[in-house]
Amino acid sequence: MDRTEADALERARAIHDDLSAWRRQLHAHPELAFQEAGTAATLRGFLEDLGVRPSAPMAGTGFAGTVPGRVPGPTVALRADMDALPIQEANDAPYASVHPGVAHLCGHDAHCAMLVGAAKLLADDPPARGAVRLLFQPAEEEGGGAERMIEDGALESPEPGAIFALHVDPSVDVGRIALRNGPVHASVGDFDLVVRGEGGHAAKPHQAVDAVAVAGQVITALQQLASRAADPVHPFVLTIGTVEGGFARNVIAPEVRLSGTVRTFDPRQREAAPEWIRRCAEGVAGAFGARIELEYRHGYPATVNDASLRPWAEGVAASLLGGDRVEEAPTSMGGEDFAYYGRVVPAFIGRLGVRNEGRGLVHPLHHPKFDLDEEALPIGAAWLAGVARRWLDDAAA
């Protein structure tokens, strides 16, 4: 390495204005999963300005870019997600979303800007050997863009030896990075459950099967799965998110439709969940003469950080910030489709602190007022570039 890692953060801070400008342009023009055409065009333009040629489209709107080292060698991948959320932003910043009902409230705008920043840092001072593949993927929030990227060859020819990513974290102070080995994001399962009874007159319940009353029992019983069916040392969350049913106050509802989600790290609980729900709901509904229909869909698998990559993730974070600013990250029951990359190659996702209480930047991800401290952007860009560079150096050695 001709320049030391110690001044890597200084070099990243020198492009702070670019990072903010890129992030703000993306933030103002958010797009939902698999609709990121404008976002992708913007990002392709940023990369071309740096002399990095974007690939043909992958996964619809996604694409890759490659920053070559000085001589050929192994490949390492870095990933950013491009999609926004179907939420109305409640911030009045000059860069607030101009698209009603759509906003970057999970920080994916920052992820993309930091990956472009990493591309700039790497292009200005290429790694000695190998290549860095930059993955800009669609649809992290919904639809599993990562899985589609892999289907379209994002991890092929050649296969990268490792993949790294960062997610912004408003529970961690700006100037810090949080890391964790092993499971970091839970698996996701979604279900629709219909409780079918028999309609009737509200005053004559004995002639009907009240789907509302049965659904109430089913909801209560399903909560017992977390405490009685799941292993207490393995977290298990079941949430019923919607309840719909009935026509009028004086009519017994013939059916109630419930929908919900299941989160766990444990693959056995992930596999068992549909049968647990079916058995519980069928039994309770059957006790009152009602029937159920269950549709269950397995979503993202659990994201498991490969502990063998921790030395790069932590070593670079410590050299940028100081070891006392690298903390242990908590696990999250939220899903993250970075999981799919980890099924193919060693993968590690870190958390970048973006919280700043003094400036009121404290709202959680997906909150209508979520915003981040842009002082985090050079840190994230330097970390991404740094882990790629250091991993390539070590892989070559």
- What phi and psi, each to the nearest 5 degrees, are found at residue 388? -65, -50
Give bridge partners of residue 297 from the DSSP assignment. 190
Nearer to Ni ion, 75 or 137 (CB): 137
Question: In angstroms, rounded to a whole number, what is the distance separating the alpha carbons of residues 45 and 178?
Answer: 31
Q: Which residue has the tokens 């700039």?
A: 120
Question: In angstroms, rounded to a whole number, what is the distance separating the alpha carbons of residues 309 and 363?
Answer: 30
Report strand pairing: 63-68 vs 129-137: antiparallel
Given a contact cutoff of 8 angstroms between Cβ atoms, the answer to whether 328 and 180 are in contact is yes
Q: Which residue has the tokens 């860095």?
A: 132
Given a contact cutoff of 8 angstroms between Cβ atoms, the answer to whether 46 and 114 are in contact is no
C-alpha 57: how far from chain center:
21
Q: How far is the CB of 115 from Ni ion (least distance, A)?
A: 14
Nearest residue to Ni ion, scored by beta-carbon proximity: 106
Q: How far is the CB of 103 from Ni ion (least distance, A)?
A: 13
Q: How far is the CB of 190 from Ni ion (least distance, A)?
A: 17
Query: Is residue 304 close enough to count as binding Ni ion by CB under 5 A?
Result: no
Nearer to Ni ion, 106 or 387 (CB): 106
Binding-site size for Ni ion (CB under 5 A) equals 1
Nearer to Ni ion, 105 or 256 (CB): 105
Nearer to Ni ion, 201 or 366 (CB): 366
Question: In angstroms, rounded to a whole number, what is the distance separating the alpha carbons of residues 301 and 289?
Answer: 36
Q: How far is the CB of 167 from Ni ion (least distance, A)?
A: 6
Given a contact cutoff of 8 angstroms between Cβ atoms, the answer to whether 107 and 365 are in contact is yes
Given a contact cutoff of 8 angstroms between Cβ atoms, the answer to whether 238 and 191 are in contact is no
3-class SS of residue 144 = coil
Q: How far is the CB of 141 from Ni ion (least distance, A)?
A: 7
Q: How far is the CB of 110 from Ni ion (least distance, A)?
A: 10
Q: How far is the CB of 233 from Ni ion (least distance, A)?
A: 27
Nearer to Ni ion, 50 or 106 (CB): 106
Q: How far is the CB of 215 from Ni ion (least distance, A)?
A: 32
Q: Cα–Cα distances in Å, from 185 out to 261, 265, 354?
A: 14, 7, 19
- Which strands sit side by side in the sheet containing 129-137, from one edge to the other? 63-68, 129-137, 71-81, 163-173, 347-355, 177-179, 326-328
Given a contact cutoff of 8 angstroms between Cβ atoms, the answer to whether 359 and 168 are in contact is no
For the segment 42-61, give every residue that binds Ni ion (CB under 5 A).
none
Nearer to Ni ion, 12 or 166 (CB): 166
For the segment 81-110, give every residue that binds Ni ion (CB under 5 A).
106
Nearer to Ni ion, 215 or 304 (CB): 304
Nearer to Ni ion, 280 or 361 (CB): 361
For the segment 105-144, give every residue that binds Ni ion (CB under 5 A).
106
Q: How far is the CB of 85 from Ni ion (least distance, A)?
A: 9
Tokens of residue 293, six digits:
């229909």
Listing DSSP states for 160-211 in one string gives PS-EEEEEEEEEEETT-EEE-SEEEE-EEEEEEEEEE-B-EETT-GGGSB-H
Nearer to Ni ion, 80 or 106 (CB): 106
Contacting residues toward Ni ion, per CB under 5 A: 106
